[in-house]
């Protein structure tokens, strides 16, 4: 039943098997739970790797097509050993490229995340820094005005005292 559940979650069951699974999960809680987990996992995978899977698959397909063509062409030529070696090299290279592509994709994702964090940090710092001159611009004239005003009032007080 476990294999059937897995196949069911991948949409790889015959109509009869589908009916069996659906009938079974009505009566078996354990399998119902397992199927729910499988479907959830599948959904998570599709959310996590929608971009990396598709282009790679297409790339793989195109490489395989080229390899097949190459193979067909080479079969007419007597030097088969070179063709096999070449084919192997191409396969190895394409596997390496596929791996690199996936790694690069992940690296790009991480870089984007870090750049995003960096930008928001810079933005936060920027607003703090740009608020400093504003504080200076407001504070300095205010302090000067207060100093002038207090100087003026002290002098006025002294003048009134002298006059009085
Ligand atoms: Zn069961």
Q: How many CB atoms within 10 Å of residue 8?
A: 22
Give the Cα separation of 125 and 80 in Å (integer): 65
Distance 2 CA to ligand 1 centre (A): 8
Note if the pTM is more than 0.85.
no
Give the Cα separation of 25 and 37 in Å (integer): 13
Distance 19 CA to ligand 1 centre (A): 14
Q: How confident is the model at residue 5 (pLDDT cuts 50, 70, 90)?
A: very high
Q: Indicate the average pLDDT of the chain.
A: 80
Distance 102 CA to ligand 1 centre (A): 37
Per-domain boundaries in the chain: 1-48, 51-135
Give the Cα separation of 33 and 48 in Å (integer): 22
Distance 21 CA to ligand 1 centre (A): 9
Distance 118 CA to ligand 1 centre (A): 50
Give the Cα separation of 71 and 152 in Å (integer): 99
Look at the block and give the residue holding tokens 């729910």: 36
């Amino acid at each position: 039943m476990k294999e059937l559940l897995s196949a069911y979650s991948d949409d790889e069951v015959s109509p009869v098997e589908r009916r069996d699974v659906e009938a079974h999960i009505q009566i078996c809680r354990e399998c119902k739970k397992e199927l729910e987990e499988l479907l959830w996992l599948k959904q998570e995978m599709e959310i996590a790797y929608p971009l990396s899977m598709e282009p790679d698959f297409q790339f793989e397909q195109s490489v395989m097509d080229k390899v097949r063509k190459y193979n067909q062409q080479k079969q007419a030529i007597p030097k088969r050993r070179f063709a096999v070696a070449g084919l192997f090299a191409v396969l190895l290279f394409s596997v390496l490229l596929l791996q690199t592509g996936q790694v690069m994709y992940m690296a790009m994702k991480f870089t984007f995340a870090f750049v995003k964090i960096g930008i928001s940090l810079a933005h936060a710092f920027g607003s703090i820094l740009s608020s400093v001159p504003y504080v200076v611009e407001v504070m300095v004239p205010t302090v000067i005005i207060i100093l002038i005003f207090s100087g003026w009032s002290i002098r006025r007080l002294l003048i009134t005292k002298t006059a009085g």
